[in-house]
């Protein structure tokens, strides 16, 4: 008898996958944030909830700025294409008028 319709087949590795995905006790979500070492020391200040919130806010702000920049690039690219087409048309018209 196979798995129920729409259910993945169990392979026996589910407990292993869960162990891999589960963070270690005391691990912080912000553990991957790195700060530059000063004075040759690799030690860093402990992460506080306020600092974590500030980092998250800066991440959101950076992503919003990146999205705005991408929109501006797309708009300028479109405008550039339109200007190139208008220039080509004007050059064709000028060439015809010169004949």
Percent of the chain at pLDDT exceeding 70:
55
pLDDT band at 46 (very low <50, low <70, confident <90, very high): confident
Question: Is residue 33 within 8 Å of residue 59, measured between CB atoms?
Answer: no
pLDDT band at 17 (very low <50, low <70, confident <90, very high): very low
User: Above 70 in pLDDT, residue 22?
Assistant: no
Q: What is the pLDDT of residues 75-84, one digit of tens each?
A: 999 999 999 9
Range 40-69 average pLDDT: 87
Q: What is the dihedral of CA 15, 17, 19, 20, to 10 degrees?
A: 170
């Amino acid at each position: 008898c196979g798995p129920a319709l729409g259910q993945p087949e169990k392979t026996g590795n589910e407990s292993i996958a869960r162990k891999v995905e589960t963070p270690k006790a005391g691990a912080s979500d912000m553990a991957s944030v790195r700060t530059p070492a000063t004075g040759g020391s690799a030690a860093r200040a402990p992460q506080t909830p306020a600092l974590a919130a500030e980092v998250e806010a800066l991440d959101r702000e950076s992503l919003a700025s990146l999205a705005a920049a991408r929109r501006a690039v797309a708009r300028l690219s479109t405008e550039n294409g339109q200007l190139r087409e208008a220039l080509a048309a004007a050059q064709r018209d000028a060439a015809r008028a010169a004949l």
